[in-house]
Structure 1
Amino acid sequence: MSVYDDRPWLALYGDQPADYDIEFDDALSMFRAGVERDPDGDALRYFDGTLVRRDLDEMTDALAAGLLGQGFRPGDRLAVYLQNVPQFVMAMVATWKAGGVMVSINPMSRTRELSYLLKDSGATVLLSLDTLYDEVARDVVPDTDVRLVLTTSGLDLQTRDDERLFAGVTRQRHEGTTDLLEFIGAHRGQTPPPVTLGPDDVAFLTYTSGTTGVPKGAMNTHRNVVFTAQVYRDWVHAGRDGAIFGIAPLFHITGLIGHVAVSMLVPAPLVLAYRFEPQVVLDAFLEHRPAFTIGAITAFSALLNAPGFRKEHFDSFTSIYSGGAAISPSAERGFLEATGKQVHNAYGLTETTSPMTVTPFGSPSPVDPTSGALSVGVPAPSTIVRIQDDDGQDLPLGEVGEIVADGPQVVAGYWGKPEETAAGLPGGALKSGDVGFMDPQGWVFIVDRKKDMINASGYKVWPREVEDVLAEHPAVRESAVVGVPDEKRGETVKAFVSLKPGSSVTPDELIAHCKQRMAAYKYPRSVELVDELPKTVTGKILRRELRGS
């Protein structure tokens, strides 16, 4: 069997149809239907603060009206530079009501990274945490197309400030910025004019590193968002039994869909806790009694190893999924023993708007007897997963090749990058860059990554970007960056560096150099100084010879 179009895995889902209806044309209609079904139900919970759907709807109307009054137009981009706070969701909905596109930005991005993302997306509005504006954005905004800066605080919309997260934090006001809640208050009671959004319109841009290492804005459409939200609801049982807990960062595709979008669709309360801090999260589990979450296995491991962890912390959960980093069979067993709950596996990329394969709810993933790998699930409904060779030809079941996905969740392309779109999404199907195989029952197994991407705690790091930063140091002649095994992070970043003649620098100084210029998950945790890097006869550095060092 060379083309996986008869979907033998459908039997795993019972009698569900192969053609999976998409219920809404756009994500805003999905949100509005949830408000209509349960207007007084909790939309967002944030420590001791609660926002019901009716109020969220009114506040996002006001924000959208205010944006339009400031010259924001359909198709414009609003960039969000926040932690996991309710204001993130407010910005998403308001952007859609104004006919715009949200740009999600990692709050760990520093000056160089933020500058690139704002310029590449052409964002005209930036919503930033006040602290991040002070530390990073104030130096970036003047050189971009941003015309309006809204700031907000992690202290807003709650009164019980957790000292473990907010010790020493105070609300800040900065010249040239506008406070978000004051901006909403000034437009309260206003409604934006009706907006027409189609399934092929872009809902948000999510940035991912590509084969060249240059971040690319994946254009996640409204069809993508609605479809994958339904997959979470129907096949993962997200939100069916109660609240959803936001463990994954909201800027990431897992958080955008597996937390925010599905909570709008069901609808179900979404519980947020600013950022991942194990003991804060465990306390929130006991307080809010969530029923579903999805996050990297490294986050779950941190919870199990946190002081004071008890099995009872997970009592309220009926569905738990992991994505972003591979799960080992031993980690799956350890989680079950510690919590009494089965953690299910899912696999997807930014370009598949979260899942392309899913472990059916209630079914443990099989383990491949040859490699010992745990399956990442079966193809999501209406999704075709192929395994292809280097020439793009389909391989028989059981053979190893590149994983290629085609379905309603695959993005339309990369923002402003037609050549990269043609190369990575030929004919609309995504070439994942991951290597794996499919067994006769339809279970997909990932064997390795085709390229040199490093996966550190679920975050993807492109070696070239780290090497470019190292090259900025005056003592560095050449460098090569690889991923090496790490018990806590799965993989961690290691750099091999050769120095210019007569130059001197210590590994710690090079680590500090990178740490100052890069997001926390990217900088190398170790640096090894070498006289020469291994190369081919043509001068290409051989990273594979360094990985075992």
Structure 2
Amino acid sequence: MQLAALVVPGGTRSVTERFREVADALPDVPALVSVEGSYTFAEANARSERIGAALGGEDDAASPVAVLLPQTADGLLGILGALKSGRPVVLLDPTLPDEKLHRIVAQAGATVCLTDEGDRVPLRTISPAEALTTGSPAEALTTGPGDARVDRAGREAAFICFTSGSTGRPKGVVLTHDMLLNEAYGGRDRLGVDAGDRVALVLPAAFMAGLTVFVFALLNGAGLYAYDPRVRGMRNMAAWLRSVQVTTLHCTPSLLRSLLAVLAPDERLTGLRLVTTCGEAIHGRDVTALRPHLPADCVYTSWSGSSEIGHLAFFPIPPGDPVPEGIVPVGFPAPGKQVTIVAENGEPVPAGQTGEVVVTSEYLSGGYWDAPDETAARFSGTVYRTGDLGRFDDRGVLHLMGRRDSAVKIRGYLVEPAEVEAALLTAPVIAEAVVVPVQQGSQPVHLAAYVAPHPTAGTPAPATLRRFLRERLPSWMVPTAIVVLPSLPRNERGKVDRVALPPPPENDAGLPPRSHWEVIVADLWAQVLDLESVGVHDDFMALGGDSLAVEELLAAVEERLRLRLTSADLVAAPTVAEFARLVSQARPAGRHPTLVTLRANGEREPIFCFAGAGGLGFSFLPLARRLPGDRPVHALQAYGLENRGLPDWSVGRAARRHLATIRKLQPRGPYHLVGHSLGGLIALDVAHRLVALGEEVSLVAVLDTYLPKLAKEMTFAGPVGRPELVPVKRPKGGLLARLRGDSRELWSYRMRLPLAGVVPFDGITQYGVFFEQGHLLTRLHRVRPWAGRSLLFLAEEHPGDPAAWGGVLTGDLDIHRVGCDHPSVLREPHVESVASAIAKAL
């Protein structure tokens, strides 16, 4: 028997009726598959009928039935069975906390739950094995002619899908049979899903996107292959996709980025003909990053929608087509959906103009469960006002421009946060961004941006991002606060959880400058940090300054004030008022040439940190602020970097110099040493020298240090700079790297090497020369094995094999991976995990 293609509108009126048609036509085709087991369409149909008969025979057969089952073949069978009971089905996600499950079942009015976790919900439960007869064995479900045949159809409720709810109260959306049949039809019409496909279900089936994939597959005769990455992890997902020969994969953009992060550069997802994303906007560079991992004929498609309307639009990008720059458009309207852009008065606007997106369709949801007022506010018969702003381009492609109710007035201008988010996402170092309006106390409303850096890129300082945005946006659209997080918090549906975002730094303009020197210093700080104003009690680090901003500030002080200061001066005078007082005195006294005290107080043994090549001791300040407060923290940097003096031309000489400084501060052990980059080699050499003197070294922490053999194989181009915010093409390896476009700057540093420390160079050149000097020290050094307690932190992009450290760190060793690049190990937000591991080891 051949399966007739699903057509909407058509003769089929219910999801259950269509599933039976598929089972009759394709009885032996695998329908539900997971690691735990599988069912053919015939087997799934027979078992689900018996489950449906048991649940439909309950006393209160009109009330909803809840389903709390894992994302396995058995769990999906339970969903089918509950649907065949004829009762509205409330799908519960097992990862939700119990308190939220309780709220959902209470709000839905469910009276029974199909689950194996009876203690998690406050209502009567039936396990799948008991669904036919209480206490009967599981095999009871596999025998007998049980046929529920209690169908609802058309505009009657099939599922009640609960969204997170921005107010904290879950909102139940009624998904009707007509709506879900049209969803399945869209899967066939726009994505080509049919009986030859194996569809991966990696999105939670309890939410709209996952449920849509559920009907895409089963109602078109395709097998549904279930895998829950929240339970089984991302690292095994690619191998699973290949092993079961999946042909279509459907993700959220964040899930896709997580998958790409664990794939090897040359790893391909063989067998796929289609990859889609949904749930939120996706950037073109994510699609570009995906392409090398796909077969040559695999199509990518972005599709969008919501629980209220189902799918809204599809935007396919065939393998030969160019990938759009920036945010990928929403696309062409879905089957059965008429999309209109209207002005505030409800009248349609011309193509190209922005207005509210309004959807007219016979296949909308049935509104909100038990909430007639909320339903009436958004639905009017077959019309739904989405609240989204959008426009059609001249090709008829829909673009979404944010929410109508999210626009906010900043300094008298109406600003759409989504436009700022889009600008942030044009920086390749940014993987995720969300912008929200914030009002703190009596201060005016301002914007706060939360960003997560790409795991293979650098971590930009807030000042760098503000400068990047000012080149692309009007000043009033640039966020006052930019908070860098390892990743944006997400709810159980994979969407950004705005409620869970941490509060931004206080936006208190504070006391304005009171003196001539305070005006000069505040102006310098504002220039370096790209802020409009700075208060006299503002802290440089709290405003977003990092070690690179320190270098820029000190160079500006030297250029404009003819005063040569060091990073230690900024540590000692971290506010505008204190720094202004310092510069007004013209010649700070008592500066140590290599020591920067980051925290002077503490009753326990201090922590000594060794800076990398061309690095300032100041760069350890974010780490120091996160280490336990009961220990002083001191940083040591190269002799001659911030003073005039002949530098040390070997790791051993640098170690001897720093050892003398350390012994003056702490004559006896135990000692705790931390080294970043070249500083890791110096820390190990200092540790050997301390042990030779009979002292105890309790801990050596090595932060993304390159072993000499690896350093010899690599070519670096000057000091570690700011993360690149625009794409740069880099030739690969060896001589080509030496001859690339920035080679003149590289060789300008190397030609100055003989004068390092003796002649102070202007601005960044000083740090570039010392970077090259430190790189030379690394290549010439011979590392001795260290048998003491040690921690090794390696950045995600560290090119060396961790096993190479086995012959160097031979004692008690813990290895930690940090999801960032080399310099970002010492920057927020990644430094938090580094500090936590060190604190635990102390």
**TM-score, normalised by the number of residues in structure 2:** 0.47
Aligned to 1:43: 31
Contact 1:79 1:123 in 2 (8 A): yes
Aligned to 1:497: none
1:82 is the counterpart of 2:75: no
1:367-382 maps to which residues of 2 (within 5 A)?
A: 372-382=326-336
CA distance in 1, matches of 2:224, 2:395: 35
1:318 is the counterpart of 2:273: yes
The structure-2 alpha-carbon separation of the partners of 1:249 and 1:443, relative to structure 1 and needing over 3 Å to count, comes to same
Say which of 124, 128, 133 aligns to 1:147.
124
CA distance in 2, matches of 1:294, 1:529: 37
1:103 is the counterpart of 2:90: yes
CA distance in 1, matches of 2:101, 2:399: 35
Q: 1:58-90 CA distances to partner (integer Å, 9 max, x unpaired)?
A: 2112212222344351x3211123342223322
Shift, 1:531, TM fit: 8.9
Shift, 1:519, TM fit: 9.3
The structure-2 alpha-carbon separation of the partners of 1:129 and 1:310, relative to structure 1 and needing over 3 Å to count, comes to farther
The structure-2 alpha-carbon separation of the partners of 1:25 and 1:518, relative to structure 1 and needing over 3 Å to count, comes to closer
1:307-346 maps to which residues of 2 (within 5 A)?
A: 308=264, 310-312=266-268, 314-340=269-295, 341-346=298-303
Q: 1:369-424 CA distances to partner (integer Å, 9 max, x unpaired)?
A: 8xx43211101123111112333332221111222212233112111111111111
The structure-2 alpha-carbon separation of the partners of 1:23 and 1:519, relative to structure 1 and needing over 3 Å to count, comes to closer
The structure-2 alpha-carbon separation of the partners of 1:365 and 1:81, relative to structure 1 and needing over 3 Å to count, comes to farther
Deviation larger for 212-221 or 94-103 = 212-221
Q: In structure 2, the residue corresponding to 1:279 is in which secondary structure?
A: coil
Shift, 1:184, TM fit: 6.7
Say which of 388, 392, 396 aligns to 1:434.
388
> Cα RMSD between the aligned structures?
4.0
Q: In structure 1, the residue corresponding to 2:181 is in which secondary structure?
A: helix
Shift, 1:428, TM fit: 2.9
Say which of 339, 343, 348 aligns to 2:305.
348
Aligned to 1:235: 190
Contact 2:252 2:280 in 1 (8 A): yes
The structure-2 alpha-carbon separation of the partners of 1:54 and 1:482, relative to structure 1 and needing over 3 Å to count, comes to farther
Q: In structure 2, the residue corresponding to 1:343 is in which secondary structure?
A: strand
Aligned partner letter, 1:38: L
The structure-2 alpha-carbon separation of the partners of 1:447 and 1:44, relative to structure 1 and needing over 3 Å to count, comes to same
Between the aligned residues of both structures, percent identity stands at 21
Shift, 1:23, TM fit: 4.9
Q: In structure 1, the residue corresponding to 2:500 is in which secondary structure?
A: coil
The structure-2 alpha-carbon separation of the partners of 1:386 and 1:325, relative to structure 1 and needing over 3 Å to count, comes to same
Deviation larger for 426-435 or 396-405 = 426-435
Aligned partner letter, 2:355: G
Aligned to 1:52: 40
The structure-2 alpha-carbon separation of the partners of 1:150 and 1:343, relative to structure 1 and needing over 3 Å to count, comes to same
Aligned to 1:206: 161
CA distance in 1, matches of 2:74, 2:218: 15
CA distance in 2, matches of 1:530, 1:181: 62
Q: 1:451-485 CA distances to partner (integer Å, 9 max, x unpaired)?
A: 459999xx9x9x99xxxxxxxxxxxxxxx997733
Q: In structure 1, the residue corresponding to 2:77 is in which secondary structure?
A: helix
CA distance in 2, matches of 1:70, 1:187: 21
CA distance in 2, matches of 1:49, 1:334: 33
Shift, 1:444, TM fit: 0.6
Q: 1:294-340 CA distances to partner (integer Å, 9 max, x unpaired)?
A: 1112212211211547533x220111111112111111122113324
Say which of 467, 470, 485 aligns to 2:451.
485
1:6-21 maps to which residues of 2 (within 5 A)?
A: 21=9
Q: 1:78-131 CA distances to partner (integer Å, 9 max, x unpaired)?
A: 11233422233222221232211111223332233212211111111223453x
Aligned partner letter, 1:71: D
1:526 is the counterpart of 2:513: no
CA distance in 2, matches of 1:423, 1:65: 37
Considering fraction of residues, name the structure with more strand: 1
1:26 is the counterpart of 2:14: yes
Whichever of the two has the greater Rg, that structure is 2
Deviation larger for 45-54 or 245-254 = 45-54
CA distance in 1, matches of 2:243, 2:270: 12
The structure-2 alpha-carbon separation of the partners of 1:398 and 1:271, relative to structure 1 and needing over 3 Å to count, comes to same
The structure-2 alpha-carbon separation of the partners of 1:308 and 1:119, relative to structure 1 and needing over 3 Å to count, comes to same
Structure 2's unaligned 5+ residue stretches are 1-6, 408-416, 422-431, 438-445, 456-484, 510-542, 545-842
Q: In structure 2, the residue corresponding to 1:311 is in which secondary structure?
A: coil
Contact 1:356 1:409 in 2 (8 A): no
Aligned to 2:234: 278
Deviation larger for 435-444 or 238-247 = 238-247
Say which of 130, 140, 154 aligns to 1:185.
140
1:261 is the counterpart of 2:215: yes
Contact 1:366 1:374 in 2 (8 A): no
CA distance in 1, matches of 2:149, 2:39: 24
Q: In structure 1, the residue corresponding to 2:99 is in which secondary structure?
A: helix
1:117-196 maps to which residues of 2 (within 5 A)?
A: 117-128=104-115, 130=117, 137-138=120-121, 141=122, 146-150=123-127, 182=137, 185=140, 188-196=143-151
CA distance in 1, matches of 2:264, 2:316: 32
Aligned to 2:355: 401
CA distance in 2, matches of 1:439, 1:45: 42
Aligned partner letter, 1:195: V
CA distance in 2, matches of 1:60, 1:290: 24
Contact 1:205 1:219 in 2 (8 A): yes
Q: In structure 2, the residue corresponding to 1:88 is in which secondary structure?
A: helix
CA distance in 1, matches of 2:244, 2:37: 11
Contact 1:202 1:221 in 2 (8 A): yes
Aligned to 1:391: 345
The structure-2 alpha-carbon separation of the partners of 1:519 and 1:411, relative to structure 1 and needing over 3 Å to count, comes to closer
1:449 is the counterpart of 2:403: yes
Aligned to 2:204: 249
The structure-2 alpha-carbon separation of the partners of 1:117 and 1:481, relative to structure 1 and needing over 3 Å to count, comes to farther
Aligned to 1:167: none
The structure-2 alpha-carbon separation of the partners of 1:342 and 1:198, relative to structure 1 and needing over 3 Å to count, comes to closer
The structure-2 alpha-carbon separation of the partners of 1:316 and 1:307, relative to structure 1 and needing over 3 Å to count, comes to closer
Q: 1:494-516 CA distances to partner (integer Å, 9 max, x unpaired)?
A: xxxxxxxxxxxxxxxxx9xxx9x
